Homo-oligomer: A and B are copies of this chain.
Amino acid sequence: MADVTARATGHPLAGRASFLLSQLGAYSAHEFAKRLAPLGMRPGHFGLLMHLSRGEGQSQQRLADAMGIHRNVMVGLVDELEDRGLIERRRHPADRRAHAIHLTGTAHDLLGRAQRVADEHEAELLAGIGEDDRTYLIALLQHLAEHTGLPSGVHPGLNDNPLSTTSRRC
């Protein structure tokens, strides 16, 4: 990566950072969902397990806030992970309305595998540029995210469900 001179690519859209970010972001999300699918997980599951690994015993409402989703959606996420025996709903010690969500041993194993998948995805996405450029790119993106006011670790929308029965035509 040294050619920073403005090249006249065909499409006018392809020269805008806003479009490129949106395009690459959609690709990244979709690709990650595909890689996660063999583990029986969707990005939301991964996000929830990651959040839990940084602090178990949180209420569903707190987790929903941390992930930027509605508590109604969190119910489904927790249901699915609980059905698979990856998390447990326990009594909240301080609030009898709330549940305290905890990880099981199985979840720690699966999270490890999922993180390796995420590492592979990251590596494949950045395969085209060198080490220095990767570091600089990440710094730039972090800077943009902070300046735009995007909460750290919160991902809007984009489920891109590759697990469903019908949309398995990719």
Contact = CB atoms under 8 A, between A and B. Distances in A.
Interface of A: 1, 3-4, 6-7, 9-30, 32, 47, 50, 54, 118, 121-122, 125-129, 133-148, 150, 152-158, 160
A55 to B, nearest CB: 11
17 contacts: A1-B139, A3-B139, A4-B135, A7-B142, A14-B153, A16-B118, A17-B125, A17-B126, A18-B122, A18-B125, A22-B155, A24-B25, A126-B144, A128-B143, A128-B146, A129-B140, A136-B140
Copies assembled: 2
A66 to B, nearest CB: 9
Contacts of A138: 15-17, 20
Contacts of A25: 21-26, 28-29
B143 A127 contact: no
**Across chains A and B, which 7 residue pairs bring their CB atoms closest together, nearest first?**
A25-B25, A128-B147, A11-B153, A20-B141, A22-B29, A14-B152, A4-B139
Contacts of A135: 4, 6
A54 B71 CA distance: 45
Contacts of A4: 135-136, 139
A140 B139 contact: no
A18 B129 CA distance: 14
A129 B152 contact: no
A152 B50 contact: no
A145 B156 CA distance: 22
